[in-house]
Chains A and B, each alone.
Chain A
Amino acid sequence: AQKITQTQPGMFVQEKEAVTLDCTYDTSDQSYGLFWYKQPSSGEMIFLIYQGSYDEQNATEGRYSLNFQKARKSANLVISASQLGDSAMYFCAMRPISNFGNEKLTFGTGTRLTIIP
């Protein structure tokens, strides 16, 4: 079984500042993937960034980076130079890596990020 914990229900950040959203996980799988999704008020889940458990380097995608600490089982999302459009719910998720099985995602409860002008 897999579990994702997001301990920050909400965060307020000044525009242009960097923000870190926390995520810890638990799994018995040897190989797994960690994801961050953004969900604006419209409801659609937007994929942001992916980190494989076997990746030695932290993933980066534009202003998004994933601070992966395998020993601590944490996968924090860092958003640099925050913008007003970053205001949304953010979900951390994980799934097993398998070519043959159901790779269903397990999500955390999310963090609501509000960017203040």
Chain B
Amino acid sequence: DTGVSQDPRHKITKRGQNVTFRCDPISEHNRLYWYRQTLGQGPEFLTYFQNEAQLEKSRLLSDRFSAERPKGSFSTLEIQRTEQGDSAMYLCASSLPTSLSEQYFGPGTRLTVT
């Protein structure tokens, strides 16, 4: 068990470019969450998967954002036409499908849009 991993750890992009982040959850975890954390704030929920099904999306997730988990294992988060306001830390977490399991977080991807 190597924990939740995220790639890349840092991404600098110019405004208007598309970016894609990857999250690999702990292998037996079927629940996967994406959160966004801006400077000085706590993480905010973006979206949630149970296996390959995306079951909820926050209103924070505009049309420029899309997330997938095609085989119920790793997940990708894509941001199209990035804006400076997208600069943040994007955190992925996974958990077991029980009501008492905690969420394990990855190291995050820090996005800077210039």
Q: Does A106 contact B (CB under 8 A)?
A: yes
Choice from A35, A43, A50 contacting B107 with Cβ under 8 Å? A43
Choice from B41, B55, B98, B108 contacting A102 with Cβ under 8 Å? B55
Q: Distance (Å) between the CB of B99 and the closest chain A CB?
A: 5
Choice from B31, B33, B91, B104 contacting A47 with Cβ under 8 Å? B104
- Per the bound structure, the CA–CA distance linking A102 and B54 in Å amounts to 10
- Are A107 and B44 in contact, with the CB atoms below 8 A? yes
Which residues in chain A, 84-101, are within 8 Å of chain B measured between CB atoms? Answer: 91, 93, 97-99
Contacts of B93 on A, CB cut-off 8 Å? Answer: 45, 105
Choice from A50, A52, A103, A107 contacting B43 with Cβ under 8 Å? A107
Choice from B35, B43, B95, B99 contacting A99 with Cβ under 8 Å? B99
- Per the bound structure, the CA–CA distance linking A7 and B110 in Å amounts to 26
How many A residues touch B, CB cutoff 8 Å? Answer: 26
Known: A43-B110, A52-B100, A102-B48. A107 touches B42 (CB 8 A): yes
Q: Distance (Å) between the CB of B103 and the closest chain A CB?
A: 6
- Are B100 and A106 in contact, with the CB atoms below 8 A? no
Q: Does A20 contact B (CB under 8 A)?
A: no
- Are A105 and B45 in contact, with the CB atoms below 8 A? yes
Residue of A nearest to B103 (CB): A105
- Are B107 and A97 in contact, with the CB atoms below 8 A? no
- Per the bound structure, the CA–CA distance linking A99 and B50 in Å amounts to 12
Binary contact readout B57-89 vs A (1 if CB under 8 angstroms, 0 otherwise)? 000000000000000000000000000000001
B residues near A (Cβ < 8 Å) are 31, 33, 35, 40-45, 48, 55-56, 89, 91, 93, 95, 97-100, 102-108, 110
Residue contacts A-B, CB under 8 angstroms, 9 given: A35-B102, A43-B89, A43-B107, A102-B48, A103-B31, A103-B95, A104-B33, A109-B41, A110-B40
Q: Which 8 residue pairs are nearest across A and B when measured between Cβ atoms?
A: A107-B42, A45-B105, A104-B45, A43-B108, A44-B107, A102-B48, A102-B56, A97-B99
